[in-house]
Amino acid sequence: METPITRERSLARREFLKASGRAGLGALALMVGGSALLPVQRAVAQYAPDGIREVHLETREVLWELAPGKRIKAMAYNGQVPGPEIRVQEGERVRVVLTNALAEPTTVHWHGVEVPNPMDGVPGLTQQPVRPGETFVYEFEARPAGTRWYHTHFQGHRQLDLGLAAPLIIAPAQPDPFPFDREYTLILDDWATGFGRPLPSTREGTAGGRGGIGGMMRGMMGRGMGQMMCEDMGGMMAGAHTPVYDTMTINGKAYPATVPLTVRQGERVRLRLINASAEHTHVIRLAGHRVQVTHTDGNPLIRPVEVDAVPMAPSERYDVQFVAERPGVWLLACAGPGHADAGERVLLVYEGHEGEKPVAPGEEASDLRLWHYRLGHSRETLPRPARQEQTLTLTLSGGMMGSDAWTINGKQYPRTDPIHLRKGERVRVQLRNHSMEAHPMHLHGQSFQVLAINGQALAQPLLKDSVDVEAHMGAVDIAFTAANPGDWFFHCHKPMHMEGGMITLVTIA
Ligand code: C2O
Ligand code: CU
């Protein structure tokens, strides 16, 4: 239950953010009444005269400083990387006026939001690309509640790599099932800057059904770094045109430039984690604290799941909570190979302990409890089927011998076979990975239930909009009841794989 106190606090926070946004201080961690505010600037959604929440976004090229001395050419929404956090109430009508000041076309996709099809932002399918100098107006009802995000869907691999991504937080209309005293949104991203040591690409998946806890950490950490790099960078797995990633950021900054998270002892703190990376799975750990996973891709679980670390595939979101009861200065960091050194670290500072020496997460990997899909049980929030269920299989393959071609049932988009559904019809999709890399598969327009991993049924379904299918014969079964009419992309969220053809259409009539 949300208490009046938490509601009051969050209202006060919202008011203050409006004021601070005007003063142009939004990118700093602001202090008010001793409480630090979000390091991500919020795009304050004003009410237009017709009562609709209105946000103005402008895409433009900027010089962005990832860390002192690491300045790169990036693309930004409203001049910042990641773009401004948009925060609205569930059920509200939202209007986003996008002006494109880039020298090339763009579009915006509202990831995880049940938008009407023409608002989905897929160029050439749901809208014409927004050309340089043009304006496009997106309008939709904000639902479902949860940690959503928005990003470019135009030539994904370049524009997404260059920074066009941002949080979209839809506050629940009903009291939040997991109330909190303080929250931070953390967007994780990978960068190919040319400054720094190349990081190995991610091949393992996060489902964790295979070998349980150990499989993935063994895959990521068990081998020596040097060996891993030779294997991965040798061109055997990575396609010839895969960018060479060397920098990891949290909210657009690489450690030590990341903005510290401040907490007060006794507070319940929510972290909204968003993986905006093109290529990398991250394994997030907070030194000195276990965290409780409360939401998967924005959707609430029945009860929190306590873990030591949260693996996250590209495009996945996890909300986690912890109680701040270990005063000191701790590091939140990624356990992926080389990621922490490449910048993926941020300080968690208890008030009154500023300046103390930070403690990093331990190196031990074998006895950690890792999040995986089998651990969570979602609240049932999907419409029930009104018709019979059909089952189909999608075999994911490609990337052999360094090829950039990625296929579904042997075909590359646009030659893949669309999945035709009528509204109310339920479909079970068996995803089978015959390739050597994991594929985070994302469905536009609505969420789905994850029913089985690697041949074993989940005790209860998990509600998500992106699901990572493990490499080397990984198998995931999902199901959904067709609810949102239109033509929807269903694709791998690694932009190189999407551009290589790993897309199919789901058409709902
Ligand atoms: Cu978040 Cu089609 O993408
Ligand atoms: Cu893929």
Q: Which residue has the higher pLDDT, 380 or 400?
A: 400
Asked if the bond preceding 304 is cis, omega within 30° of 0, the reply is no
Per-residue 3-state assignment (H helix, E strand, C coil) for 156-219: HHHHHHCCCEEEEEEECCCCCCCCCCEEEEEEEEEECCCCCCCCCCCCCCCCCCCCHHHHHHHH
> Which two tokens mark 491?
């694709």
Quote the ligand 2 centre to 439 CA distance (angstroms): 4
Residue-wise pLDDT tens digits, 34-75: 233 334 455 667 777 777 999 999 999 999 999 998 999 999
pTM to 2 decimal places: 0.87
Instruction: Name the pLDDT band for 468 (thresholds 50, 70, 90).
Output: very high
CA–CA separation, 179 and 7 (whole Å) = 9
Do the first three CATH levels of 6-175 and 245-375 match, i.e. the same topology? yes
CA–CA separation, 117 and 132 (whole Å) = 23
CA–CA separation, 122 and 467 (whole Å) = 20
User: Which CATH entry fits the domain spanning 390-508: 3.90.1520.10, 3.30.420.40, 3.30.450.20, 2.60.40.420?
Assistant: 2.60.40.420
Quote the ligand 1 centre to 244 CA distance (angstroms): 22
Q: Are 354 and 346 in contact (CB under 8 A)?
A: no
465-496: buried (b, 16+ CB within 10 Å) or exposed (e) per residue? bbbbbbbeebbbbbbbbbbbebbbbbbbbbbb
Quote the ligand 1 centre to 159 CA distance (angstroms): 13
pLDDT at 3 over 50: no
Task: Give the range with max mean pLDDT: 14-28, 31-45, 441-455.
Answer: 441-455
The lowest-confidence range among 57-66, 373-382, 392-401 is 373-382
Q: What's residue 38's pLDDT?
A: 39
Which residues are within 5 Å of ligand 2 (an ion), measured at CB? 439, 492, 494, 497
Give the residue whose CA is nearest to atom 3 of ligand 1. Answer: 111
| 3-state class percentages of the chain: helix first, strand second, coil last, to nearest 5 | 10, 40, 45
Residue 338's closest CA among 227, 179, 208?
227
Q: What is the mean pLDDT of the chain?
A: 85
One-letter amino acid at 326 equals R
Residue-wise pLDDT tens digits, 275-304: 999 999 999 999 999 999 999 999 999 999
Q: What CATH number has the domain spanning 245-375?
A: 2.60.40.420
**Residue 369, CA distances (Å) to 45, 294, 308, 311, 436 in order:** 39, 16, 5, 11, 25
Q: Which residue has the higher pLDDT, 227 or 247?
A: 247
Share above pLDDT 90 across residues of the chain, in percent, rounded to a whole number: 72
Q: Give strand pairing partners of 130.
A: 106
Give the residue whose CA is nearest to atom 1 of ligand 1. Answer: 111
Q: What's residue 349's pLDDT?
A: 98
Whether 491 is in the pocket of ligand 1, judged by its Cβ within 6 Å, is yes
Please identify which residue in the block is written with the tokens 């079964």.
477
Whether 444 is in the pocket of ligand 1, judged by its Cβ within 6 Å, is yes
CA–CA separation, 96 and 142 (whole Å) = 12
Quote the ligand 2 centre to 409 CA distance (angstroms): 14
pLDDT at 248 over 80: yes
Q: What is 6-175's CATH superfamily?
A: Cupredoxins -  blue copper proteins (2.60.40.420)
pLDDT at 358 over 90: yes
Q: Are 342 and 197 in contact (CB under 8 A)?
A: yes
User: Which atom of ligand 1 is nearest to 122's Cα?
Assistant: 2
User: Which atom of ligand 1 is nearest to 466's Cα?
Assistant: 1
Q: Are 21 and 85 in contact (CB under 8 A)?
A: no
CA–CA separation, 79 and 27 (whole Å) = 11
Whether 489 is in the pocket of ligand 1, judged by its Cβ within 6 Å, is yes
Q: What's residue 214's pLDDT?
A: 44
The lowest-confidence range among 160-164, 208-212, 224-228, 343-347 is 224-228
pLDDT at 107 over 50: yes
Residue-wise pLDDT tens digits, 188-237: 999 999 888 899 888 777 765 444 444 444 444 433 333 333 334 333 34
Instruction: Name the pLDDT band for 364 (thresholds 50, 70, 90).
Output: low
User: Which atom of ligand 1 is nearest to 149's Cα?
Assistant: 1
Average pLDDT rounded to a whole number, residues 339-366: 90
Domain definitions of the chain by residue range: 6-175, 245-375, 390-508
Consecutive H or E run containing 237: none
Residue 371: CB partners within 8 Å, gap ≥ 6? Answer: 208, 293, 305, 307, 309, 310, 311, 318
DSSP 3-state assignment of 477? Answer: strand
User: Which atom of ligand 1 is nearest to 153's Cα?
Assistant: 2
Asked if the bond preceding 39 is cis, omega within 30° of 0, the reply is no
User: Which atom of ligand 1 is nearest to 489's Cα?
Assistant: 2
Average pLDDT rounded to a whole number, residues 130-139: 98
Strand duo 35-36 + 31-32: pairing: antiparallel
pLDDT at 27 over 60: no
Strands annotated E in 297-352 = 299-307, 309-312, 317-323, 329-334, 345-350
Q: What's residue 200's pLDDT?
A: 86
Instruction: Name the pLDDT band for 116 (thresholds 50, 70, 90).
Output: very high
Q: What's residue 389's pLDDT?
A: 82
